[in-house]
Amino acid sequence: MGSYNFRIRIHLSDTQCIQSDEKMIDIQHPDGIHFTLSAIDADKLKNAKDIIIKGGAYNSSELAMEAGQRCQNALRLTFAKVRFGVDFGKLKEGKARNGKKVITESDLEISDQHIMDDVHGLMVYDNDIPTGFIRLHDLSVKIGNQPSRIIQALNLALKQNIEFSGIELIAFELFNASFFEQSARARFLMLMIAIEALLEPKDMDSAALRHVQSLIEATKNCLDLSLIERDSLLGRLNWLLKESISKTGREFVNQRLGQRLYNNMPSDKFFTYCYNLRSKIVHKGTYSHADIGTITPELERFASDILCSFYFDLDSND
């Protein structure tokens, strides 16, 4: 029986690094999970743009994949906690073997090594077979993050059985993607969309709901309107059956963050300020460069706290 490892390749934003002179960090979690974090094509972690996380060995590819996915979820939460932009790539899947999905690999053989695609993301491979990884190389000032802070957050994340919903994964993806944006305005909007993705507007209260429903019925029965006009109005009226994004957002962040301050504003007021700024940018094309420059770093912290609030104690120094 083969011994299987999981391997995750992640890409760091150009403005950040893991502030370590080591090429590799060995992480041993109390639960028995063991993996390494290594620089690629760099002599030190602080000089690396790509990082490999490797763990194993496991008795089956299924166990290795399960451990890799657990580690990847913990890393996703960890890097959001320390506000570190990471591109996790995509899981590559190929044809099914024995009814199960398997990782795509190259059929190339070089010398006595089995050569596999250097997948950007999570993959599993047989550790008993000598294996090499190939990829095309990617032909500034960085903000360093101490390894101790990352490891501390990662150990806390690994203690939990994290299973993100599809919406949460989208929010994490948008949060991470914001670090790769060059435009401050685009970065601000991406962070706002990451937050808005998590919002689920509730039905309006009964009196308002009945009023909107009466308008919908009146619109359906209005013969003076063309079919296109009627459908357009009905589409807009159906949105009114739910609470506004602004109200939903205020309640949501107040529930998750309480009266924590962001730019000297309680969380709900900070959300309102950012949401109004977002609306000015998207609907009117007007905004202040000073506002964007001041607010975006706080919005990054705000989005990080929202994403991590179900998993970490935000009032702890851990």
Tokens of 298: 């706080």
Could you tell me which residues come within 8 angstroms of residue 245 by beta carbon, excluding any fewer than 6 positions away?
196, 199, 201, 275
pLDDT (mean) for 279-289:
77
**pLDDT at residue number 189:** 92
pLDDT (mean) for 84-103:
51
pLDDT (mean) for 209-232:
78
Range ranked top by mean pLDDT from 56-70, 132-146, 167-181, 235-249 = 167-181
Segment holding 116, helix H or strand E:
strand 113-117
Tokens of 8: 């995750």
Amino acid at 210: R
pLDDT at 96 exceeding the cut of 50: no
Alpha-carbon gap, residue 239 to 262, rounded angstroms: 30
87 versus 112: the higher-pLDDT residue is: 87
Q: What percent of the chain has pLDDT over 90?
A: 22
* Torsion 62-65-70-73 (CA) sign: negative
Q: How sure is the predictor about 238, in pLDDT bands with cuts at 50, 70 and 90?
A: low
The model's pTM is: 0.67
pLDDT at 260 exceeding the cut of 60: yes
pLDDT at 242 exceeding the cut of 80: no
**pLDDT at residue number 131:** 66
